[in-house]
Chain A
């Protein structure tokens, strides 16, 4: 184990990407993710072959990402909510071309220009593919700076394994919090990249990376094939963490910064004798449906704690087939629920379903 260092979430994202072999970064400044780009600007010139480029816009940056991804090299871009909207067309092209890449969203409050304080209100945008057409983006939602590092590695790995774009869904608070991390990541797996555009040297037929199909039947075939892969991802790659769920009668569901507040509230509720636990989705797509559905047979109710008007709550209801009530506990616009607010909701639900 290498010695730990103290890092901000945004810095950890950038450094972990470099360590994961991503030597190409294209970005554009927007609060609260600017440190990712600033860090890359400082570090990339010191890396052999490293490229940092501040594009003229978010749209240009994501299209540069498509270019590098087509060569089979690891590549990343990052932005915050409004910037991700601009990148969503590019995300669709990445998916349509079956290209791996890592996109980071350090979320801020919306809609519109919104604010610069933390939010989780891009949940729908992230988990529903963000752009046009039938596709998914693999969405990872770390809740600590260490997990930020781990998820960058995981994101690149799964993106290459399944040839799909992956997204880290962070937020303003996660990006700014400072925690000790180990950057010791182990080996980088190598996947077949015989599809990549690396030059034929006159020795093979050219590869084509493209999302345009002239025949409807051909486009349909690619869609079906892609969704076969999505099925495998849903089957094998859902990640979650259970917290004090052994005898829980109430199940809190929360990700990212909301799960950290919830954990403190759960500890406090337990002290007061309330049997409450948490299932924390680490992947938001694929959503950990199975574990939630199994929990629905044991608990009395669920509470979805979100920094949005209630987006993940719909996935919880779908996952548990509406077998049990799901209550919402939320703050929006850049506000974070306090431990006391989550605790109050737990008490309310505990009283209500006795």
Chain B
């Protein structure tokens, strides 16, 4: 699991390359915070991708009592890059723990920019850079750093840590995660940012735990798509 140092922060921002796994991590992390007894709010700031949204997890979030702030237009045919005014409540309500799910790349991070003054003013946040070695554009530490800088420039907020979400979809094994650690450490060295979390599917969490001791965070897949292959477990 992750350190107290991370969960004690009031705002946690997840940003990164397009398709790096931000939404799923943000949903899992919000549920984790909530299960620790925190009043938790998750806000979807993605104005880039009209598919695969935080809103897909609406039911589980509601069941857990987690407040979801999402565009009224998410998952509809209205392809409008609009964010609800309610998003400001995350910054106004200091009793809650806020999780921000930011859109991919610099284009997605642009929307975060308008909330950055509030985040800096309160100064109780983590801004986590989600990385995956097996994504084509972030296959090398140098390419990953390039995207990191583009995001920071776009939103005006600096990252404070890294989430190593290296995976290869259904074919991910413990070995996939273990062998990605060197890449993550290289990104960490080049950026000067600590690895605050390494994610792994909950099905292989116990095995991975034997190899990776620090900050291993299990992920559940809360949304099941009908076109995914049925798995015999």
Contacts and interface: CB of A to CB of B under 8 A. Distances in A.
Interface of A: 4-8, 11, 15, 31-32, 35, 38, 42, 109, 114-117, 172-173, 176-180, 257, 260-261, 263-264, 267-268, 334, 336-339
Contacts of A338: 226
B19 A261 contact: no
Interface in B125-165: 132, 134-137, 139
Interface in B171-215: 171
A116 B50 CA distance: 8
B87 interface: no
A263 B226 CA distance: 10
B52 interface: yes
Nearest to A174: B227
A117 B226 CA distance: 15
27 contacts: A4-B134, A4-B171, A6-B167, A6-B168, A7-B135, A114-B77, A116-B50, A116-B77, A116-B79, A117-B77, A172-B51, A173-B227, A176-B51, A177-B225, A178-B169, A180-B169, A180-B170, A257-B227, A260-B228, A261-B226, A264-B226, A264-B227, A264-B230, A268-B230, A334-B77, A337-B226, A339-B226
Interface centre among B52, B227, B229 (most CB of A within 10 A): B227
Contact of A11 (B50, B52, B107, B136): B136
Given A172-B51, A178-B19, 7 more contacts: A5-B139, A7-B135, A176-B51, A176-B52, A177-B227, A180-B171, A336-B226
A264 B18 CA distance: 29
B192 to A, nearest CB: 25
Contacts of A8: 18-19
B136 A32 contact: no
Contacts of A116: 50, 77, 79
Contacts of B18: 8, 35
B77 A115 contact: yes
Nearest to B168: A180
Nearest to A8: B19
Interface string B26-63: 00000000000000000000000111100000000000
A173 B19 CA distance: 14
A336 B50 CA distance: 16
A186 to B, nearest CB: 19
Chain A binding surface SS class = mixed
A114 to B, nearest CB: 8
Nearest to A262: B227
Contacts of A176: 49, 51-52
A263 B139 CA distance: 33
B149 to A, nearest CB: 14
Contacts of B170: 179-180
Contacts of A261: 226-227
Interface in B1-38: 18-19
A267 B226 CA distance: 13
Nearest to A265: B226
A204 B170 CA distance: 56
A114 B168 CA distance: 34
Contact of A5 (B50, B134, B228, B229): B134
B159 to A, nearest CB: 21
Contacts of B19: 6-8, 11, 178
Contact of B136 (A15, A334, A337): A15
For the complex of A and B, the 4 pairs showing the least CB-CB separation, nearest first, are: A115-B77, A260-B227, A176-B51, A180-B168
Contacts of B134: 4-6, 180
Nearest to A145: B169
B51 A32 contact: yes
Contacts of A4: 134, 168, 171
A195 B52 CA distance: 46
Contacts of A263: 229
Contacts of B230: 264, 267-268
Contacts of B228: 260
Contacts of B229: 260, 263-264
A9 to B, nearest CB: 11
A334 B77 CA distance: 9
A5 B135 contact: yes
Contacts of B77: 109, 114-117, 334
Contacts of B107: 38
Contact of A42 (B49, B79, B135, B137): B137
A8 B167 CA distance: 14
A6 B134 CA distance: 6
A338 B107 CA distance: 33
A234 B156 CA distance: 57
Nearest to B136: A5
B169 A179 contact: yes
Nearest to B232: A267
Nearest to A4: B168
A15 B79 CA distance: 26
Contacts of B136: 5, 7, 11, 15
Contacts of B49: 176
Contacts of A180: 134, 168-171
Contacts of B171: 4, 180
A179 B132 CA distance: 13
A94 to B, nearest CB: 29
A93 to B, nearest CB: 30
Contacts of A337: 226
